Every structure is written in C-alpha cells, then in structure tokens.
Amino acid sequence: MDKVTVTIDGITLEVPSNYTVLQACREAGIDIPTLCYAEVINEIGSCRLCVVEIDGVRNLPASCIYPVQHGMNIRTNTPRVREARRVNLELILSNHDRNCLTCIRNTKCELQDLAERFGIADIEFQGEDVNYPLDDVSPAIVRNPNKCVLCRRCIAECQEVQNVFAIGAVNRGFDTLVSSPFYVSLNDSPCISCGQCITACPTGALYEKDHIQRVYRALADKRKHVVVQTAPAVRVGLGEEFGMPVGSIVTGKMVAALRRLGFEVVFDTDFAADLTIMEEGSELIERLKYGGKLPMITSCSPGWINFCEKYYPDFMENLSTCKSPHMMLGALIKTYYAEKMGWNPEDVYVVSVMPCTAKKVEIERPENMHDGIQDVDAVLTTRELARMIKEAGIDFVNLPDEEFDQPLGMSTGAAVIFGATGGVMEAALRTVSEIVEGKPLDKIDFEEVRGLEGVREATVTVDGLDLKLAIVNGTGNAKKLLDKIRSGEVEYHFIEIMGCPGGCITGGGQPIHHPNEMAEVRKLRAAAIYQADKNLPLRKSHENPAIKQIYEEYLGHPLGEKSHHLLHTQYTSKPLYRVTR
Amino acid sequence: MEQLYELFGIDRVEEFRAKLEELKKVPGSMISILNEAQEMFGYIPFQVQELISKETGVPLTEIFGIVTFYSRFSIIPAGKYKISLCLGTACYVRGSGQILEKLKENLGINEGETTSDGMFSLEAARCLGACALAPVMMINGEVYGRLTPDEAVKVIQRIKKQDLSQAAAEVE
C-alpha cells in the first residue's frame, strides 16, 4: 500500500493512502470521539462528533469517512472543532431520554461516556422531546426509541451483517425513527431474535427481555426445585462483566456464584452438547446410509432456526431434528432427573444461562411443550446473570472454583467447543469418525474446521467416504451459502450454521463491546473455548461416562423412542410479517 | 394477491403488475415503481409494498423507508377530497400556519391523515406556484387563495354540503 504524509496537530507521520482521517488520527495517538461509526459495517458520517479541521477544506469534515491526502494538515483540537462537537452532542442529547439512573446501560453507555468526556454541564437546546411507546412484545428483545440516537449501528447489523431486514430508518428529519415496516412490533417483523442489534447499540435503546424477576420469584418459592444450566460460551464471557480480561475462563467461579444465588442444582449444558453429538451424529450416519435428506444442517442455534423458517423454508427437511442442547437438558431434568429425585415435574423450574437472546423465544415454541410443561422456564443472558451476581454482592473475581452437580454436569471437550463457530462440526467429527471406523482417532483436533471466517469448507475422509463439510457463522453468511446450494453451485453432506457472527461466543446475550473491538473479542473468546477443550481429560462426546449411563438407564439408544420424544423436534415455515393490513 | 384483488380490483392490480414487470428491469427504478403505485392506488399499503418487494428483491424494510421519506408517497388511503395546504415561505408568512392548525382542529386529523369517514385528507405542500394568492390551498386540483383560517373552514363546509346534495341527487 502506498503511503502518504500527513500532519496532525503538528505531528507529521506516514500512513497508508487508503486510510481515513480518523484512522490516521488514531495512529497518531489521538482518540477522536465517535458515536455512529462502526468499522466496515457503518461508515456513514452521520453523528458528526468526529469532525476535524483540515487546511483548505471549508467545512468541518467527518473524519470517519474523509480519506487522507498527501500533505494534508489536520487539526483536531481547535476551538472551532470543540465547539462543533459540543453543539452536535448537545443536539443529540437534547431529545434523548436522559433518565440515565434507571437505564439498563447506566455506566455502560457510549453516549454517557461522551457527555462526561465533553464535560456537558447544561443542554442549551430545549426543543421538542420524543415520546414513543416501548416495543416490548417480542419475547427476546425490547426496543426503546426514546433512547435511540439514530446512529444506525443496529440497522447495519440487522441488514448488512445478518441480512434479516427487521429494522430500518423510517420517516424523515425530526420524525426519523428506527422501526420495522408499518411500525409493527419486532415480534411481527422478520426479526430472528439474534440480538446482534443489542450488542451494536451504543445506548439503552435495545436490550433483552428481562427474565431476572421471574427467576428471583422461582428462587423464593419454597415448593420449587430450581435447576440451572450454563451454555459453553457463558464461561468464557462472564468474567468480563467483573473486569476480568476478555478470554478469561471462569467455569468454576460461575458454578460457585450460581450456588450462592440459591440455585438448588447446577448442571452444565455441555452435558447436553455431548448428548446432541450422540443424537445428531447418529442422525447424520443414518442419513448418509439410508439416503436421507442432505446436506444435514445443525439446529443448535435458534437464531439460525428462526432465519431458516422465515427465509429458507425449502431447507426445513435439511435441519437436524435435534432440539438445541439446553432444550434437551431441560426435557431430561423434568423427566429423567425429576424421576430420580422423586420430584413432581411441575415443581421443577429450569433456568438456562445462555449467550443468546433467541433462546428466550425458543423456550416458548409449542413444538417443545410436553403435557403443557415447557422444557425450560427462563433464559438468562450472560449479562443478566452478571447483574444478579452484582446485586447479590458476590465477590465474583475472588470466588473459589466449584464443580457442577452430577450426573448432568459431566461433559467433554467436544461439548465446550460448541461455543465457537466450527465446534459442533468438530465435535461431531470426533464421534462420527470413531463410531463409523470402529477405531480411535489418530488426531483429536480437526484444525481444518476451525477459524473465524464467515464461510469455511473442508473435506474429511471417514471410512473411505469424502465428507464435504461447510461451516457458517452469521445469518448473512448463511444466506450466501444457501443461495449457492439452491442454485446447485455447491454440494455438501453436513453443514454447521450458527446465527451469530463468530458463533455463541459473540452471541446477542454476551457482554457488550464496541463493534470495532469485536474481531479481537471473537479471537480471544474462541481461543479460550479451545483452551477449555484442551484442559479436559475427555474430549470425545461418546466417551462421556454420564452419557453412557443415561443411555443405559433411560434413553436406550440414540434416535430411540425416548430420544425421539424428548430430544427431537420439528420446524415449520413462518411468514416474514405477521400483519395483513 | 387475493387481498390485493379485493382491495383494488383485478384489472387495476394486473395493470400495475404489468408495469412493475417492465420497471423492475431498470436498475434504480424504485422511485418510478412507487410513483406508479401511488398514482394507481392513491396510497401504497402493505400488500402493494410486499408485492414490490417480492418482485424486485428489495427488502420491505428498505421500501418502507423510501415511502415514508418522501411526502408524495402515502401509506393510508387519501380522502375523497385531498386538501394540500401550502406551507411554502410566501404562504407561511401570510399565516398558513394558523390555517393548518384550524383545519386540523376542524377535521380532527393531523397532517398526513384522513378523516374516519374517508372524506378529507390533509397534507402540507411546499409552494403550489400561486404565491400571489398566498395563503393558498388546493383541493382536488382546485385552488383557493387569499385565505383566512375561518374562510378555509367555510370552504370545507361548502364541499361537505355539495357532496351531500350530489349524493342525494344520485339516489334520486
């Protein structure tokens, strides 16, 4: 890349010629304030907080979209720049609902940080206020337009990244609003509840539907046996909420915290991930053997399932019939485990701690009801669990490590990698290869399916058959691949699809970071997931003794009648809009 | 499609579809398509936007964004009598703001809305090219100039009366 020389606040430096002024300033060690800017996905120069002065340019350009030029003289801290930024911020604040104390993002808000940084003491503009109703109909996501700053980062996630198109900018000028078409609720829109909009939002305009209160009620109910389970990705995210570095593995502290919060039994969704591999692996072998529908596509990610049901109804039969792991475990807790303990299933309350917002919708799917009982009663996001731990005053960082309860807390390394894109594929390969070939694997790690690229392909030979595989993360990438399959351009045997970019580690329920940091966050959390796999003595699902035990004691064999009833489900195509006006 | 037929009749819908078929071949023709829809149906309801989305592959969310951005497109049916009141500079300085308030109060609707009986819709225009007559409003193509708030209301009442007697004459 060619270099150009620019001068920024008197410092002369060389930068690549394709840089924006913002990038050049950051290289010069100057942290230009931004609000709407999100690298690659949302470079629109709309908030005007990043304005700078450039010699020979009459107005104040937005540095985030202004390209550098050789010899450019940039000034970032002049009275004119400071005044313009302050006025722009005050204008954004002037019709913002400034009830920060009661806001879910209080102290974790980019707008608040900017107000503090600019030392805003008084807002000059006393114009019209906005007063829109809350959209809280969706079981997963709440939208509060009064907290919205119209940065459009959520729209970029929803449209450009995820290709869902549930929300967009409507109206004009002061009436501009982020909304679904015809002002319908997110619940009636194409929304797949992935929650990526939440993690993109700089303020409290988007957040998960609260399940904390119902969990507190259950915990306080003496008749209830409250059982909790935790997804693989939660253990590599939760620590960040307590100031630990990104990528910290906090499994033991998490279990200890859950016991201190009053959960009677602490199980691990990882157990059910191993179980998923037994069921899904067997399903794949059956489909390959008996000419079933191929490619088979994984079904662990409810965001992906929602996307498939709405946008790709012709792929319904390709989906594995396996429920997602936490739903499997919920079903087993209310049957197998309740029987074991002599509990009435109606008195058992199952809480799933998930990196995911779509799971809040999934637990209400009528397909998953058994005699009017839900498999899972509440879903807490990683963020919600952190809030409970903070409220209870538990010193998380200094907690001792504790172990999961047994038998549904035992798991292998194959289960924990479900948290990262490619993990389900690798776990399935570890088990399917050994079962089909009847001999131990030479190498447990299938490096060829790892990585963070949106679409990856691999061919793995199992017992002489070249299995063609694809691994996809993010529904926008899923669209790319499915369109190619539809047109006959590509063919596969088995595909793993996760709804969120990066997989569950960066799901919509995980601790929030600025979109520009997400690539690095994904890398660190994925590394932690694979480290957690390496740390475990057993790394293949079918070697999990508790899995062997449950098949012997209760389920019989994979894809058996009990499995069919408790662990499998079905899908139906859904309309994009639930309106006919 | 059935809902569309029910709303606008088979002929009109098919005529629109034929035009859509042609227009969608031209890149960047969304505005032209929406113009056609607005003219043909008087407004662009969900069913029409959904059809355009399916035919062009442009997500409904984007289409709705365009429809609500430009004031010439509407998502609710226009009234039998379409009032456009000029809020351009000349009319505004001569008091069209007060006329707007009075009309809103009298009709019980806001800008961009239609009365519940479907008789009147009210929209603000930006200069009708009749500044000499400011402040002006236009109802179904007819211009009323040099208005005051009270006179504007009188015009509305006159139209109501005429419409009633016309309807009565038709019954006879």
- Per the omega criterion (within 30 degrees of 0), is the bond before A139 cis? no
Determine the distance in angstroms separating the CA of B66 from the nearest CA of chain A, rounded to an integer.
8
pLDDT over 80 at A1, yes or no = no
Domain residue limits, chain B: 2-69, 81-171
Q: How far apart are CA A420 and CA A507, in angstroms?
A: 10
In this structure, how many other beta carbons lie within 10 angstroms of the beta carbon of residue A543?
Answer: 18
Instruction: Kindly state whether A95 is in contact with chain B, defined as any CB-CB distance less than 8 angstroms.
Output: no
Q: How far apart are CA A432 and CA A277, in angstroms?
A: 9
Q: Which residues of chain B fall short of a pLDDT of 70?
A: none
- Residue type for position B133: L
Contacts of A182 in chain B (CB under 8 A): 46, 64, 75
Q: What is the pLDDT of residue A184?
A: 95
Q: How far apart are CA B153 and CA A182, in angstroms?
A: 32
Q: Which residue in chain A has the smallest CA separation from B7?
A: A581
A504 is catalytic: yes
Domains defined for chain A, CATH in brackets: 3-77 (3.10.20.740), 127-208 (3.30.70.20), 212-567 (3.40.50.1780)
Could you report how far apart the first and last alpha carbons of chain B are, in Å? 37
Whole-angstrom CA distances from A431 to A292, A549, B86 are 20, 17, 74
Determine the distance in angstroms separating the CA of A119 from the nearest CA of chain B, rounded to an integer.
35
**Out of B45, B59, B68, closest to residue A165 by CB:** B59
pLDDT mean over A456-466: 94
Q: Please name the residues in contact with B27: beta carbons below 8 A apart, sequence gap of 6 or more.
A: none
List the one residue out of B123, B128, B139, B121 whose CA is nearest residue B88. Answer: B128
Q: How far apart are CA B130 and CA A327, in angstroms?
A: 68
Mutate to test the interface with B, among A182, A192, A310, A479 (most CBs of B within 10 A): A182
Residue A580's pLDDT band (cuts 50, 70, 90): low
- Evaluate whether A135 touches A188 at the Cβ level (below 8 Å): no
Q: Which residue in chain A has the smallest CA separation from B48?
A: A581
- Evaluate whether A431 touches A500 at the Cβ level (below 8 Å): no
Instruction: Kindly state whether B50 is in contact with chain A, defined as any CB-CB distance less than 8 angstroms.
Output: yes
For chain A, percent of residues with pLDDT exceeding 70: 99
Between chain A and chain B, how many beta carbons pairs sit less than 8 Å apart? 45
A47 is catalytic: no
A14 is catalytic: no
Q: How far apart are CA A571 and CA A69, in angstroms?
A: 55
pTM of the full predicted structure?
0.93
Q: What would the two tokens of residue A133 be? A: 């109703």
pLDDT mean over A70-97: 96
Measured CA angle at B146 (ends B144, B148), to 5 deg: 95
Count Cα neighbours of A187 within 13 Å in the Cβ-side half-sphere.
13
Instruction: Kindly state whether A173 is in contact with chain B, defined as any CB-CB distance less than 8 angstroms.
Output: no
Instruction: Kindly state whether B15 is in contact with chain A, defined as any CB-CB distance less than 8 angstroms.
Output: no
Q: Do B68 and A580 touch (CB under 8 A)?
A: no
Task: Give the DSSP H/E element, type plus range, for residue A498.
Answer: strand A494-498
Q: Which residue in chain B has the smallest CA separation from A180?
A: B61
Q: Do A182 and B50 touch (CB under 8 A)?
A: no
- The single residue of A359, A384, A411, A540 carrying the catalytic annotation is A359
Q: How far apart are CA A451 and CA A564, in angstroms?
A: 33
- Residue type for position A211: H
Q: What is the pLDDT of residue B112?
A: 85
Residue A127's pLDDT band (cuts 50, 70, 90): confident
> What are the phi and psi torsion angles at A179 (to 5°)?
-160, 165
DSSP bridge partners of A351? A228, A378
Q: What does CATH list as the number for B81-171? A: 3.40.30.10
Q: Which residue in chain A has the smallest CA separation from B62?
A: A168
Q: Where are the alpha helices (DSSP H) in A291-407?
A: 302-311, 325-332, 338-341, 358-362, 382-391
In this structure, how many other beta carbons lie within 10 angstroms of the beta carbon of residue B1?
Answer: 11
Q: What is the pLDDT of residue B29?
A: 95
Environment class of residue A579 by beta-carbon count within 10 Å: exposed (0-12), middle (13-18) or buried (19+)?
middle
pLDDT over 60 at A581, yes or no = no
pLDDT over 60 at A7, yes or no = yes
Q: How far apart are CA A518 and CA B13, in angstroms?
A: 47
Q: What would the two tokens of residue A333 be? A: 């807790």
pLDDT mean over A447-464: 95
